[in-house]
Amino acid sequence: MRIVFMGPPGAGKGTQAALLSSALGIPHISTGDIFRANVTQGTPLGKEAQSYMDAGEYVPDGITNAMVRDRLTHDDARPGFILDGYPRTVEQVAELDAMLRSAGTKIDCVIELTVDVDAVVARLVRRSAEQGRTDDTEDVLRRRLEVYAEQTAPLIELYQSRNLLVQVDGLGEIEAVTAAILLAVNS
Ligand code: ADP
């Protein structure tokens, strides 16, 4: 199974992708997590990414695409994967298409977790307090939601036109959302 998770910041992609990863036995690949790990470790990649992340902007496609391209060649990703937070731009979609084409594989399903904006803001403000993420302050959060609407929302239609899109309401209890996702993935 090759699955892409989409949804605005705060929709619960990370939580659900991790649960689905355990349920299906395929790796959860979160570009945000990989960037944060690099920032924490002070790697060159982390140093490049940090200023964009702290401003709520996307890391440039060239950097992000190269990172994903490398990650998808690891052995654990051969039977399948869950991509969380990638692709987020039209250019990233083209790049992912090219990576999969050369591997002779394809995406099976794109899950969009839908939520309303007020609920998302409330969730992220709480998460910011709990985890101390430097990109969860209110201004940066607003910018992240804007960037999502501008650059990533159009991908929903693109995947819909390929008949890959499944929309799941992200606002229920965690277990109920997971159950709805599993139902969608298995059908
Ligand atoms: P969220 O979904 O809440 O925005 P993530 O952890 O997925 O959080 O991403 C955090 C930050 O990492 C993003 O705001 C962006 O700066 C960077 N990032 C993650 N994925 C991508 C991507 N596919 N393209 C560009 N930047 C990305």
For residues 122-132, give the mean pLDDT. Answer: 78
Please, which residues have CB within 8 angstroms of residue 35's CB and are 6 or more apart in sequence? 45, 46, 49, 53, 59, 67
Would 72 be classed as within a structural domain?
no
The reported pLDDT for the residue numbered 61 is 97
| pLDDT (tens digit per residue) in 44-85 | 999 999 999 999 999 999 999 999 999 999 999 999 999 999
Would 37 be classed as within a structural domain?
no
Of residues 27, 8, 9, the one with CA closest to residue 17 = 27
The reported pLDDT for the residue numbered 138 is 78
- State the pTM of this model: 0.90
Which CATH number fits the domain that encloses residue 102?
3.40.50.300
Ligand 1 centroid to residue 70 C-alpha, Å? 17
For residues 88-113, give the mean pLDDT. Answer: 96
129 contacts 21 by C-beta, under 8 angstroms? no
Would 63 be classed as within a structural domain?
no
Look at residue 176 and tell me whether its pLDDT is greater than 90: yes
Would 160 be classed as within a structural domain?
yes
Would 174 be classed as within a structural domain?
yes
Q: If you search the block for the tokens 């659900």, which residue do you land on?
A: 16
Domain housing 149: 2-30+80-186
Q: Ligand 1 pocket: which of 30, 31, 86 to mutate (most atoms <8 Å of CB)?
A: 31
Our answer on whether the CB atom of 86 is closer than 6 Å to any ligand 1 atom is yes
* % of residues, the chain, pLDDT over 70: 97
Our answer on whether the CB atom of 170 is closer than 6 Å to any ligand 1 atom is no
Would 69 be classed as within a structural domain?
no
Would 62 be classed as within a structural domain?
no
Would 47 be classed as within a structural domain?
no
Look at residue 106 and tell me whether its pLDDT is greater than 80: yes
Report the Cα 11 to chain-centroid distance in Å. Answer: 10
Residue 80 DSSP one-character state: -
**Total of domains in the chain:** 1
Of residues 88, 96, 55, 78, the one with CA closest to residue 1 = 78
- Cα separation of 123 and 7, whole Å? 14
- Cα separation of 26 and 17, whole Å? 10
